[in-house]
Amino acid sequence: MSDTNPTNAPIRTDAPVVPTGGDSVQDLHRAHMAQMNDPVMLTADGVDDTAVDEPGAGGADSVQSMHDVLMREQAEPRDGFEPVPFWVAVVCGALLMWGGFYVGSNSADFRADVYDEPNPVATPVAGPVTDPDPQTVEELKAIGGRKYNAICAACHLPEGLGKPAENIPPLDGSNWVTGDQSSPARLSRIVLYGLKGNIEVKSPQVPRTAWGAAAMPPHADQLKDYEIAGVLTYVRNSWSNKADPDDKKPAITAATVRAARAKDGKRDSVTAAELQEKFPKDYADPPAPKK
């Protein structure tokens, strides 16, 4: 229904408009009333229910009924550019200002270090890492065997026979490894600080005894105390060597090397003569506390 204006409804003109009776005011009005209440002129449902309708009757097609219908039918909403209600503009403006203020005061300049998720798992603070301190020949040999083959074997060979052609003496059967010149304090220093100068090495496996044309490098920075103890225990108990008969009582442990390190600190390579002079065979360094 696009047009609710009742005045546009088709008008039937077959009802008498011209007064037929008297021409008094009342008669003239009666005729108009009859037409206004004519059922065909305005029907709510479009049905010409003529039977009910008599001039002046207040039936379904009466003026009042027709008005009821019209009142019920509200004007349809129409498209258009309605002005934005003032309160909507105010609320939107306030929200925009609040949002701007919120971002401005909480964005922290959008810095990555602010927005990156912190690691939820607390990084464990690296505490003092304690080195292992093996106390059996078996454990020390296991550690030392790996280190020996990685470092010492390059010169002394995996079989501990040395390289006479390169003036590298043997360890297998050496009297400095297990024998009359062997001591924990001397061996610790040879590996810690290296060895240079003339040395007489006696070994049943290698006929040559005089060495000194080559020098052995220090390993103090490369190997930890327990690793040097391991490497020495390994060479002292490998091949034909058997220096530690009691597996529970290795002659050299990390404490031995630690004591030598603490006594001598950083220093040059040792010589065989110095070892013999300063460190008699039964010499032992004063125990050094663990760091």
Residue 55 or 194 with smaller CB distance to ligand HEC: 194
Q: What is the b/e burial string over 164-196, where b = at least 16 CB atoms within 10 angstroms of the residue's CB?
A: eeeebbbbbbbebbbeebbbbbbbbbbbbbbbb
Least distance to ligand HEC from the beta carbon of 135, Å? 20
| Binding-site ranges for ligand HEC (CB under 6 A) | 151-152, 154-156, 167-171, 174, 176-177, 187, 190-191, 195-197, 199, 201, 211-212, 214-217, 219, 231, 235
Host H or E run for residue 31: helix 25-36
Least distance to ligand HEC from the beta carbon of 199, Å? 5
Residue 43 or 181 with smaller CB distance to ligand HEC: 181
Least distance to ligand HEC from the beta carbon of 123, Å? 35
Residue 39 or 160 with smaller CB distance to ligand HEC: 160
Q: Give the helix, strand, coil percentages of the chain, each rounded to 5.
A: 40, 5, 55
Q: Is 191:230 a contact under the CB 8 Å cutoff?
A: no
Least distance to ligand HEC from the beta carbon of 281, Å? 15
List the structure tokens of 235. Answer: 């060479």
List the structure tokens of 253. Answer: 């442990």
Identify any residues that bridge with 199 across adjacent strands, giving them in sequence order: 211
Residue 66 or 191 with smaller CB distance to ligand HEC: 191
Residue 126 or 165 with smaller CB distance to ligand HEC: 165
List the beta strands (DSSP E) in 88-132. none
Least distance to ligand HEC from the beta carbon of 232, Å? 6
